[in-house]
Amino acid sequence: MKRSKLSLCLSIVLTSIILVGCNEDTEVITVEPKLAPVKEPLVIAHRGASGYLPEHTLAAYELAVKMGADYIEPDLQLTSDGVLVAVHDDTLARTTNVIDVFGSRDGDTNVGKYTLEEIKQLDMKLVSTAALDYPEFTPTSEDALKVPTFEEVIELAQRLSKETGREIGIYPEAKLQDDLQEDLIIETLDNYGYTADSKVYIQSFSADTLRSLKNKMENRGYLLPLVQLGSLVDQSFNESTSGASLGLTCEDYCVLTSDNPRQVIRLAEIKEYAPDIGVSLSTSASVTSTKSWPLYTPELYTYAHELGMTVTGWTFSKPSDNAQAISEYLGFYELGMDGVFSNYPDLAIKARDIFISNQERKIQKAQ
């Protein structure tokens, strides 16, 4: 039986050729195959490029941006005069020379016992692998190796966004629930023009803090993305020593928070106030080892993505060599991890470039 011209025109051509018109002089157009977009995992500079320069300094943040980080992460603490500063610990002793400058103040080096003016007098101490300089890098900020305020971190990110032509995101962490701190975080972000469309996430280990932030922002008529930090657990937690001692249980996948008392919250419940989770990596585990822990299984990421959530892992430090580090990042990228907190953002970026290239090659082969 002869096929009609109409049926010929409706035939599907799988070799990227499009038939235009429906007559003997049909024009044939060859179309280059298009690659499907590859989702790029986010690289968040953990306390800046803290593997290279002192953590939570403008120098470390700027170096991270130069290395290609998508976001810079300031942990936030309140000074005694009510100013948000970028400091990880509750105290100043580990990262600054506070005892040399002010003595111990009866053994109290808590950030909240010092004014901003006093904190600005402190010098940073070298921690872990950090140094005071980095090859061929000169920070452009004044007091680049001092404790910065949250506003100074934002101003740096916004200035570098203009200079580089790409938006540099910020990823501040709110500590345990504190009304003043929550209000100041929201007001500061609001004053600097951040909206739901901006590259900003607010993270916390406290579910109570995140719920409070959500309510306060919604009362202002907007909502910035929130991230629940904690330890990822599954049903095996119920039979563990930790689960028994805390008297907590988990169904499906859950996050163990740092609230007082601590909470174990299912991902489906977390989604109601925070669409993203940031979970701890095992310090001794390798993604290439045989692991039953859910963070090392693709099922977790499939489950979270089906809920419309993202999974970010912390903290990637530097193994014995760069090749091993890049292998670790690649392993998690391939599992489906949506972002990484890294002390060495340059290595995370190198691994991401390899991952994207590999994914595009796979897509091209499949076409």
| Residues 250 and 211 grouped into a single domain | yes
| Residues 20 and 151 grouped into a single domain | no
Question: Does some domain include residue 207?
Answer: yes
Question: Does some domain include residue 310?
Answer: yes
Secondary structure E strands in 167-309: 169-170, 202-204, 226-233, 254-256, 264-266, 276-280
- Look at residue 191 and give its three-state secondary structure: helix
Question: Does some domain include residue 300?
Answer: yes
The number of angstroms, rounded, from the C-alpha of 239 to the middle of its chain's C-alpha atoms is: 31
| Residues 200 and 249 grouped into a single domain | yes
Q: pLDDT (tens digit, 9 = 90+) per residue, 222-276? A: 999 999 999 999 888 888 888 888 899 998 899 999 999 999 999 999 999 999 9
Closest Cα to residue 105, out of 90, 93, 96? 93
Question: Does some domain include residue 37?
Answer: no
Cβ within 8 Å of residue 362, ≥6 positions away? none
CA distance 193 to 187: 10
CB environment 113-151: b (16+ within 10 A), e (fewer): bbeeebbeebebeeeeebeeebeeeebebeebbbbbbbe
| Residues 21 and 152 grouped into a single domain | no
| Residues 143 and 221 grouped into a single domain | yes
- Look at residue 329 and give its three-state secondary structure: helix
pLDDT at 366: 83
| Residues 188 and 54 grouped into a single domain | yes
Other C-beta atoms closer than 10 Å to the C-beta of 346 total 21
Question: Does some domain include residue 9?
Answer: yes
Per DSSP, the residues of 278-298 read EEEPPTT--TTS---SGGGSH
Are 256 and 230 in contact, with CB atoms under 8 Å apart?
A: yes
| Residues 213 and 312 grouped into a single domain | yes
| Residues 69 and 198 grouped into a single domain | yes
Are 95 and 102 in contact, with CB atoms under 8 Å apart?
A: no
Task: Read off the CATH number of the domain in which 319 is found.
Answer: 3.20.20.190
| Residues 15 and 79 grouped into a single domain | no
Domain count, the chain: 2
**Could you give the residue numbers annotated as active site?**
46, 88
Q: Quick one: what percent of the chain has pLDDT higher than 90?
A: 73
Domain extent for 61:
42-366
117-124: long-range contacts at Cβ-Cβ below 8 A with a sequence spacing of 24 or more? 119/79, 119/85, 119/92, 119/147, 120/146, 120/147, 122/92, 122/96, 122/97, 122/98, 122/146, 122/147, 123/96, 123/97, 124/54, 124/57, 124/95, 124/96
| Residues 111 and 5 grouped into a single domain | no
Other C-beta atoms closer than 10 Å to the C-beta of 310 total 22
Question: Does some domain include residue 14?
Answer: yes
| Residues 27 and 65 grouped into a single domain | no
Amino acid at 62: E
- Quick check: bond before 261 cis, omega within 30? yes
CA distance 331 to 119: 41
pLDDT at 33: 42
Closest Cα to residue 65, out of 124, 144, 128, 123? 144
State the SS3 of 235-248. Answer: HHHHHCHHHHHHCC
Tokens of 308: 């419309």
| Residues 92 and 151 grouped into a single domain | yes
End-to-end C-alpha distance for the chain, whole angstroms: 33
Low-confidence ranges of the chain (pLDDT < 70): 1-38, 104, 282-293, 319
pLDDT at 194: 97
